[in-house]
Structure 1
Amino acid sequence: MKAIHRSNCFHKNGEENPCHISNNPYLIAFGVIEIIFSQIPSFDQLWWLSIVATIMSFTYSIGLGLGIAKVAETGKIRGSLSGISIGTVTSTQKLRSFMALRDIAFANSYFLILIEIQDTIRSHPSESKTMKKASLVSIAVTTLFYLICGCIGYAAFGDMPPGNLLTGFGFYNPYWMVDIANAAVVIHLVGAYQVYCQPLFAFVEKNAVKKFPNSRFVTREIKIPFPGLSPYKLNLFRLVWRTVFVIATTMISMLLPLFHHIVRLPGPLGFWRLAVFFPIEMYIKQQEIPKWSTKWVCLQILNVACHIIAIAIATAAGSVAGAVLNLKSYEA
């Protein structure tokens, strides 16, 4: 949202104009939108939501085409094999490869909602067959797309690419095309927020009903008629709890500088838990592998190694290094 504003400002007032604007108005606007959408029960299971997300994904892939055009324009591939230009390099800058590992793990955070997706699939054919095929296709496509975007972005901008690839094209025409791509990201993330939060909402509300079955505040539903539509069932507990949650997350994102670096700290831990830990444990259980056998020990070593080396150390170091580097030029 801020990138769209700055892009239009640059083209209206010239590149010399700093076009500085606070993040907070856009964060507040995003929070207000999420408060409204969070009151829609099972919003994450609407059939058309995945279609919109897919369309938006193809739309903001405009950045890939612009990256190819920039490489073709300059006629050379920027960047270096080491990930940073040879010369005087600070200790913090040497951790940029860890930042890359962090971003790779964070980009695959869809594992957090994989079980939720599987839970909505019909029983025929079986969920396991459907999800195995869906996972194979989706992982192959997204991995290929991410690699192409990463390589083209690196070739276009070299060792210092922008955190958001699309913001790197702010001075390029047609700038309205970049605005469309950034708008697609916004629309995608509006829905993504709900996809991630709705299972949490449902979990809290389900347990609240179990714990306070006689509370009218928790269990009562007020039917509000809508012309031509089914009546909306307003639950006061849902209204208060979800609103407070969205306000809290919005306030935290406003108070924390470089929020995108902060949220990447727990993100890869979730990736390890669902992409490495659970599959290994389920395989051990399914195959009835004896405890302390050679196979069991090797699997546990793999589990611990992925957690400690690839996730805990590398991604944490990458997040801290990214925050330190960007704090030097941070503008609220």
Structure 2
Amino acid sequence: MHIHDDWSGLPPDARGATVAMGNFDGVHLGHRAVIEAAGRATDAPLGILTFEPHPREFFNPDAPPFRLMNAESRANRLARLGVDHLYQLPFGPVLAGLTPEAFARDVLVGGLGVRHMTVGADFRFGRKRAGDAQTLADLGAALGFGVTAVKLIGNGTQDYSSTAIRIALSKGRVRDAERMLGHWHRIEGEVVHGEKRGRDLGWPTANLRLDGLHLPRLGVYAVLVDVLTGPDRTSCQGVASLGVRPMFGRNAPNLEVHLFDFDGDLYGQHLSVALVEFLRDEEKFDSVDALIAQIAADARQARQVLTGA
């Protein structure tokens, strides 16, 4: 998959795609329907048009973190779906100021040269969110590209949405989130140096930052781990603590992952960690020995859960 960070100056082979447009936070089943509709619309290459940062971050920078995926995780998921081109446009004052007409003319046609667009039925675009799916269809008819608006999908009682998935994760209901996503909720990123307490306790961990991400329920999870880079690329099971480490003072939330049956150096490598089942809330123990005993119990429970995952 080719990633493009602007809409101008694209090479000829990056123009003329059929493009699904949206924020695609989580790449859930509703998003998949929009992407699959783009894949069926024409025989042109399949493209995704999205924005980085998320427009909500631009307009409300002081809001609590809400994203289900960082840009790396979203790109990895889209690549798995067979996307040819990811147009990850920089969202800022320029894009925010474009009218729907200017966006269609300058970005979609002048920049990307789109053949066909697909969007969700509730999609809005352009300055002050003035454009909707019908606006896009009218502009497409005038400018020479087709448009498909895809109906929202759900389980009969609730539309699949990033908001519903955030609620499920906040309650530790990762399997409910998985049913809406169509895949396990994953946290991806570079392994950073921590305080190496896990190693001292006999349970070495890989640490991932959670900056900018919506926090699932704090606690311990059974996880599936993909090592994406480095000489020790592999897939394995594990147990992870997502939280603030209350035994050791007040800390910023992070994800500490212990990989079962793994022996390698992960610093600087990139991991993809799937939350498979919530095991327990974070606790502050009376002693280090009690903490070690609980970690061992968590690992046993995680292995049991993952055997059937």
Smaller-chain TM-score range? under 0.3
State the TM-score, normalized to the length of structure 2.
0.24
Larger Rg: 1
Structure with the higher fraction of residues in helix conformation: 1
State the TM-score, normalized to the length of structure 1.
0.23
More RCO (CA 8 Å, sep 6+): 1
